Amino acid sequence: MGIDPNFDGNRERVGEENGLDVWGPVDRPEKLGIHGAHVAVDYDVCIADGACLEDCPVDVFDWVDTPGHPESDRKVEPTREDQCIDCMLCVDICPVDAIDVDASRS
């Protein structure tokens, strides 16, 4: 199952990490929640294949280490979500539907 497109209404904002909103639940290292708002990545779904990072035309994403997470030991973080041009390439290319882009959450 991919990211919940209504996570900002269905989940509680539990804090901030690296300047990004984090939506729970979070229980490290197994549960990491959703990171970002305009460009949101569900860290619990992300398998870190890197396609979004490699193909993003404006370099929104960076790698972050997530040791001990059951899906992967690193994730793509929407570090520069404010530079997103809403092309939706990352959404289309993600093999597990871990990314959501929504301009209304900017």
Q: Where are the domains of the chain?
A: 7-105
Q: Are the beta carbons of 66 and 39 closer than 8 angstroms? A: no
Whether pLDDT at 32 is above 90: yes
Please provide the average confidence, as pLDDT, over all residues in the chain.
96
Read off the pLDDT band of 85 (50, 70, 90): very high
**Is 84 labelled as part of a ligand binding site?**
yes
Q: For position 103, what pLDDT does the model report?
A: 80
* Residue 106, CA distances (Å) to 29, 49, 74, 84, 97 in order: 28, 26, 25, 10, 20
Q: Please name which of 41, 28, 25 lies closest in space to residue 75, comparing C-alpha atoms.
A: 41
Mean pLDDT over residues 31-35, rounded?
Answer: 98
Q: Which CATH class is domain 7-105?
A: alpha beta
**Is 87 labelled as part of a ligand binding site?**
yes
Read off the pLDDT band of 94 (50, 70, 90): very high
**Is 103 labelled as part of a ligand binding site?**
no
**Is 35 labelled as part of a ligand binding site?**
yes
Q: For position 104, what pLDDT does the model report?
A: 85
pTM, two decimals, is 0.96
